[in-house]
């Protein structure tokens, strides 16, 4: 079987990414060789391929579900918002510049050959390409020059399934309204709809399902229940930021920056049943956590200025002075230094801003982005938080614009790779930072760190409760996702749709 299947949605965050991942895993289980594709992705969660190309994490997740290595052709265009009206534009894994929304709208037509070539490469190497749309195809103001929804489906003659989120309410109206706003050629490609994130008894829906099928003249292919999965989010439209208070022994808090990026770094922490992970915006929400994290940022200077204006500088210093452990990842790491400079205006119009001065380093933004996969060794150990650390082997990846200068040769370096360093620890051992995204995926290192936190609290140490690696855990999640979707949908009809095409 050769073909395509495109999943579009009535809105953002209706579950398109996970449905695409489910179809990738189901096809793999059934003996096919699928690949994911999203022509244009807008997200601050990204990944670096083995070749050093940057792409959206959603397609990385889907590639994992398909059992293949991620490659940049799966996401040829990535937009990383730098403000409410502008984004860094990344084409085939490399940044080509920052653009305002209107400028990009006029320019993006030039990307059609790039997108078409990326798709042709994937379709030549794989049996079935599972295509993810973006937002909604009913955004009629964006119909002209569309690269990612019905414009792409029409060019590729790809059959489309439309997904709606019933958990947020209004699913029948959103499915009907979306179908009604399609043009005739677009409507011909719509082969069925999926109701996603359902809680309750499906029999209650039956009358509405039958009426909907009559109204749009398309079958409802199934109703997928709401699932709690620990898999990567595409962007910041996520339930993870809705804090859930509990009485677990360990507390980890992440500062929710306006331009937070790669918050998927912290997903592995959710697997520890004695740890409460929450995201906070204001210093008043700081509740003496065992670990406080400054995450990555797409605009380090602007987010640093934001934190300072909200009173975070005094709050961070007080937290560290009282013995708390403060960590910075990527942009958060840069903020912990003495200053951040941007003489070329790479990320901001502000040429220089003082950092929080908790680590002896400074960062200069550079025009060329550093994107690479990393193998490194953790080299720091003390009698405090890091008492249980040995020389830990680590893997991860870098995505940053800055070049960081380290000012003290005798200062502890926490992570080293051949020829350069990847992070640092303060002299008192209470502050550390790193450029290494995915550091918490390294389960041995993470378990030793958490046991250091437990020891300081007088709590018993715990063994890593995951069999194997974090990737092994995600493999089970992909299987669970696929089993639920397979059971919920008419997969025979889905396969017929793929075979018949658009």
pLDDT mean over 398-414: 73
Q: What is the pLDDT of residues 426-439, one digit of tens each?
A: 888 899 999 999 99
How sure is the predictor about 407, in pLDDT bands with cuts at 50, 70 and 90? confident
Q: For a pLDDT cut of 70, what percent of the chain falls above it?
A: 93
Nearest to 131 by CA among 253, 229, 3, 301: 3
Nearest to 175 by CA among 225, 137, 232, 133: 137
Q: In terms of pLDDT, which residue wins out, 303 or 142?
A: 303
> Which region among 34-38, 109-113, 122-126 has the lowest average model confidence (pLDDT)?
109-113
How sure is the predictor about 85, in pLDDT bands with cuts at 50, 70 and 90? confident
Report pLDDT for 498.
97
Residue 356 confidence (pLDDT) above 90 = yes
Report pLDDT for 401.
85
Q: Please give the Cα distance from 277 to 446 (Å, whole number).
A: 14
Residue 323 confidence (pLDDT) above 70 = yes
Report pLDDT for 502.
75
How sure is the predictor about 413, in pLDDT bands with cuts at 50, 70 and 90? low
Report pLDDT for 423.
83
> Which region among 83-87, 173-177, 347-351 has the lowest average model confidence (pLDDT)?
83-87
- Domains in the chain and their CATH numbers? 3-231+473-500 (3.40.50.300), 250-456 (3.40.50.880)
Residue 246 confidence (pLDDT) above 90 = no
Widest Cα–Cα separation across the chain: 74
Residue 420 confidence (pLDDT) above 70 = no
Cβ atoms of 435 and 390 closer than 8 Å? no
Which stretches of 268-347 are assigned E, i.e. beta strand?
275-280, 291-294, 296-297, 325-329, 339-341
Annotated catalytic residue within 20, 330, 400, 414? 330
Residues 48/376/427/328 CA torsion (nearest 10 deg): 20
How sure is the predictor about 109, in pLDDT bands with cuts at 50, 70 and 90? confident
Residue 232 confidence (pLDDT) above 80 = no
Element (H, E) at 472: helix 470-488
DSSP line for 426-455: -TTSSEEEES-BTGGG-HHHHHHHHHHHHH
Q: What is the pLDDT of residues 271-281, one digit of tens each?
A: 888 999 999 99
Q: Which residues contact 306 (CB under 8 A, 6 or more apart)?
A: 257, 258
pLDDT mean over 470-481: 92
Cβ atoms of 91 and 73 closer than 8 Å? no
Q: What is the pLDDT of residues 442-459, one digit of tens each?
A: 999 999 999 999 999 899
84-97 in b/e burial notation, b at 16+ Cβ within 10 A?
eebbbbbbbbebee
How many of the other CB atoms lie within 10 Å of CB of 63?
23
Instruction: Count how many residues are written for the chain.
Output: 502
pLDDT mean over 235-250: 62
Task: Give the mean pLDDT of the chain.
Answer: 90
Residue 237 confidence (pLDDT) above 60 = no
Q: What is the pLDDT of residues 256-269, one digit of tens each?
A: 999 999 989 999 99
pTM (2 d.p.): 0.87
Residues 361/365/366/371 CA torsion (nearest 10 deg): 80
Is residue 47 exposed (0-12), middle (13-18) or buried (19+ Cβ within 10 Å)?
A: buried
Residue 144 confidence (pLDDT) above 90 = no
Report pLDDT for 240.
52
How many of the other CB atoms lie within 10 Å of CB of 299?
25
Q: Please give the Cα distance from 138 to 374 (Å, whole number).
A: 41
Helices (H), 101-195: 101-107, 112-125, 150-156, 171-181, 184-189
- Hey, which of 67-71, 230-234, 443-447 has the most confident mean pLDDT? 67-71
> Which region among 10-19, 389-398, 412-421 has the lowest average model confidence (pLDDT)?
412-421
How sure is the predictor about 467, in pLDDT bands with cuts at 50, 70 and 90? low
Q: Please give the Cα distance from 100 to 112 (Å, whole number).
A: 19
Cβ atoms of 224 and 251 closer than 8 Å? no
pLDDT mean over 6-25: 96
Q: Which residues contact 210 (CB under 8 A, 6 or more apart)?
A: none
Cβ atoms of 12 and 266 closer than 8 Å? no
pLDDT mean over 330-335: 95
pLDDT mean over 293-313: 95
Q: Please give the Cα distance from 453 to 447 (Å, whole number).
A: 10
Q: For a pLDDT cut of 90, what percent of the chain falls above it?
A: 67
pLDDT mean over 237-246: 56
Question: Is 437 labeled as catalytic in the residue annotation?
Answer: yes
């Amino acid at each position: 079987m050769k073909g395509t299947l495109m999943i579009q949605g009535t809105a953002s965050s209706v579950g398109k990414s996970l449905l695409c991942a489910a179809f990738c895993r189901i096809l793999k289980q059934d003996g096919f060789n699928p690949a994911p594709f999203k022509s244009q992705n807008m997200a601050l969660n990204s990944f670096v391929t083995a070749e050093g190309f940057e792409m959206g994490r959603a397609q990385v997740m889907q590639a994992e579900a398909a059992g293949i290595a991620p490659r940049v052709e799966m996401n040829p265009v990535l937009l990383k918002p730098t403000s409410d009206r502008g984004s860094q534009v990344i084409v085939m894994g490399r940044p080509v510049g920052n653009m305002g929304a209107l400028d990009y709208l006029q320019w993006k037509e030039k990307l059609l050959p790039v997108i078409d070539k990326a798709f042709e490469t994937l379709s030549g190497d794989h049996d079935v390409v599972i295509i993810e749309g973006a937002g909604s195809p009913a955004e009629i103001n964006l119909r002209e020059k569309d690269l990612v929804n019905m414009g792409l489906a029409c060019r590729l003659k790809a059959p489309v399934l439309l997904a709606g989120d019933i958990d947020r309410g209004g699913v029948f109206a959103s499915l009907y309204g979306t179908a009604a706003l399609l043009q005739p050629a677009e409507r011909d490609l719509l082969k069925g709809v999926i109701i996603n994130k359902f809680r309750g008894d499906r029999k209650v829906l039956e009358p509405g399902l039958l009426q909907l099928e009559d109204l749009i003249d398309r079958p409802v292919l199934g109703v997928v229940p709401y699932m709690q999965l620990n898999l990567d989010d595409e962007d910041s439209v996520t339930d993870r930021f809705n804090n859930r208070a509990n009485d677990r022994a360990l507390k980890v808090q992440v500062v929710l920056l306006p331009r937070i990026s790669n918050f998927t770094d912290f997903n592995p922490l959710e697997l520890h049943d004695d740890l409460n992970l929450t995201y906070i915006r204001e210093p008043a929400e700081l509740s003496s956590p065992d670990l406080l994290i400054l995450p990555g940022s797409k605009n380090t200077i602007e987010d640093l200025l934001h934190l300072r204006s909200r009173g975070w500088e005094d709050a961070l210093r007080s937290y560290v002075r009282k013995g708390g452990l403060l960590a910075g990842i990527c942009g958060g790491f840069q903020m912990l230094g003495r200053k951040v400079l941007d003489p070329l205006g790479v990320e901001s119009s502000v040429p220089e801003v003082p950092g929080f001065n908790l680590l002896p380093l400074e960062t200069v933004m550079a025009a060329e982005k550093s994107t690479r996969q990393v193998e490194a060794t953790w080299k720091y150990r003390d009698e405090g938080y890091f008492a249980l650390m040995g020389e830990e082997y680590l893997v991860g990846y870098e995505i940053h614009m800055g070049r960081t200068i380290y000012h003290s040769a005798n200062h502890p370096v926490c992570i080293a790779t051949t020829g350069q360093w990847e992070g640092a620890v303060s002299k008192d051992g209470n502050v550390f930072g790193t450029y290494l995204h995915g550091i918490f995926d390294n389960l041995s290192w993470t378990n030793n760190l958490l046991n250091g936190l437990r020891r300081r609290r007088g709590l018993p140490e715990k063994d890593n409760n995951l069999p194997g690696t974090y990737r092994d855990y995600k493999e089970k999640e992909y299987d669970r996702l696929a089993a639920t979707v397979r059971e919920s949908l008419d997969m025979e009809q889905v396969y017929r749709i793929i075979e018949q095409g658009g």
